[in-house]
Chain A
Amino acid sequence: GIQVEQSPPDLILQEGANSTLRCNFSDSVNNLQWFHQNPWGQLINLFYIPSGTKQNGRLSATTVATERYSLLYISSSQTTDSGVYFCAVASKLIFGTGTRLQVFP
């Protein structure tokens, strides 16, 4: 089956810093989504991005489907950005292991 790897596994930032999270996948996919799991456990949709680039406020994402990776950029991080970020691929959603982000004031 498709393997999904995320890096880094953990990230600690000070408020205001920028970061890049990476998602590699082992086969062609027709779907890629980025989620934020907040400290209360809820999964928040960030981007549906099977290819190309999208931006939403301080967050943006790029998927290069031919090279089988996606990047999530967080600029000017805030404490509310803390949590776990997942990418998930394919129609049945195969999840990566996540990147745990902690932002300190």
Chain B
Amino acid sequence: EAQVTQNPRYLITVTGKKLTVTCSQNMNHEYMSWYRQDPGLGLRQIYYSMNVEVTDKGDVPEGYKVSRKEKRNFPLILESPSPNQTSLYFCASRGLAGRSYEQYFGPGTRLTVT
């Protein structure tokens, strides 16, 4: 089954404790991205990657890191989480332009930072 998976689905952590949210897709997609969703602010892009070893900032990259060492994986790293990073996070993927821009989303990771 074609899908985007994220882990963990739920996470409660404390300020300053480094964490990683994993994202994996099995559709051989080149493009992957991370979004966060906040009440009143909607969904905003954090980082994206056009291919292996190619990453770039989205609209709200502060406080986050990403890496793309393999095509299927795109982890989101919070090196020193703060309460304002409490949010619902989504990973997404799609193929390259010329085929389709349709993006597929993972199930979401609900993060609480206390």
Contacts and interface: CB of A to CB of B under 8 A. Distances in A.
B85 interface: no
Q: Interface SS of chain B: helix, strand, loop or mixed?
A: strand
Residue of B44, B101, B107 most packed against chain A (CB within 10 A): B101
A30 B98 CA distance: 10
Q: Interface SS of chain A: helix, strand, loop or mixed?
A: loop
A31 B101 contact: yes
Interface in A39-57: 41-43, 45, 48, 50
Interface residues of B, number: 21
Contacts of B107: 42
A48 B101 contact: yes
Contact of A95 (B43, B58, B88, B97): B43
Contacts of B97: 30, 91
B64 to A, nearest CB: 16
Interface of A: 30-31, 33, 35, 41-43, 45, 48, 50, 86, 88, 91-93, 95-98
Interface of B: 33, 35, 42-45, 48, 58, 88, 90, 92, 97, 100-105, 107-108, 110
